[in-house]
Amino acid sequence: MKKLFITYGIGIFAAVIIIGAIPMSQYYTAAVNFIWSKTHLAPVAIFLNPNDAKLRFAIGNYYFSGGAYDLKKAEASFKKAVEINEKIPGVHYQLARIYFLEGNFNDAIFEIGKEISLNPNFKKSYYIKGLILGYRGNFDGAIENLKKFQSFDSFNWAGWNDLSWAYFQKGDYKNAKNTAEEGLKRAEGNPWLLNSLGVTLMNLGDKNGAKDAFTEALSALTAMTPEDWGRAYPGNDPKIYKIGLEKTKESIEFNLNLLPP
């Protein structure tokens, strides 16, 4: 089937040149995008349309979290898209996510700054910026950006969870608790929010409340599949989903063991 699409694509390329049409017309671009969507053969798609920034962006997304996982190929595709057209919404955001995953916070903050500058209405940028600042130890900056993200998307449980984490890291346990509880109103039974609540309650001296939160969180995680866990961490290698789920359960079990029976 792949050979059929390759032949079809090259045939289109030749026909366009023969009839003297503009090779990069919207029809040609649509045809190449169709070939890419069916084959996912990046070298063929790039050969047919090397200067299409949106195609490069699509290829990067495929290698990041769209079917294959190769951060180096994803990064190279996103960088090429930037070379062609840096204003594509989301391309700097994706580079920031890759650098964040790699622990390269300086490049991550630069890229997310570019995204916000070029596309201020791309709301997810504030979430990633909040995470980056939090991991750099700037918890006030993290809180500011995560709250800004919440103003755009108040039902995203991850926004509430990471805002609670930022308050916790700052030592503001009261706001960490309140934030986790607000998140649970929107995502009842979410194990990450329950764990955040448990940790803050433990630090506030509410051992029984912490135990209840941890127990409920562990029950929810036990019912999860590795794929369920992976959906909470888009951009991570699917090969680690099973390990990640087990490590998350182990951390909650550890917290439970710190409490009196």
* Residue 31 CB contacts under 8 Å (≥ 6 apart), including other chains: 9, 12
Q: Any idea which residue has 């495929």 for tokens?
A: 62
Residue type at position 144: E
Rounded distance between C-alpha atoms, residue 235 and residue 100, angstroms: 10
Rounded distance between C-alpha atoms, residue 252 and residue 138, angstroms: 26
Would you say the C-alpha torsion 15, 21, 24, 26 has a positive or negative sign? negative
Rounded distance between C-alpha atoms, residue 74 and residue 60, angstroms: 4
Q: Which two tokens stand for residue 104?
A: 């390269």
Q: Assess contact for 199 and 168: CB atoms under 8 A.
A: yes
Give domain limits for the chain: 172-261
Rounded distance between C-alpha atoms, residue 116 and residue 120, angstroms: 5
In this prediction, residue 13 has a pLDDT band, given cuts at 50, 70 and 90, of very low
Predicted confidence at residue 24, as pLDDT, reads 52
pLDDT digits 0-9 by tens, 203-251: 999 999 999 999 999 999 999 999 999 999 888 888 999 999 999 999 9
Share of the chain above pLDDT 90, in %: 74
Predicted confidence at residue 155, as pLDDT, reads 87
Residue type at position 96: A
According to the CATH classification, is domain 172-261 in 1.25.40? yes
Q: Would you give the DSSP letter of residue 4?
A: H
Identify the helix (H) or strand (E) that includes residue 203: helix 191-203
pLDDT digits 0-9 by tens, 239-257: 999 999 999 999 999 999 9
Residue type at position 2: K
pLDDT digits 0-9 by tens, 15-46: 343 333 445 577 788 888 888 888 999 999 99
Of 51-60, 137-146, 185-194, 234-243, the poorest mean pLDDT is in: 234-243
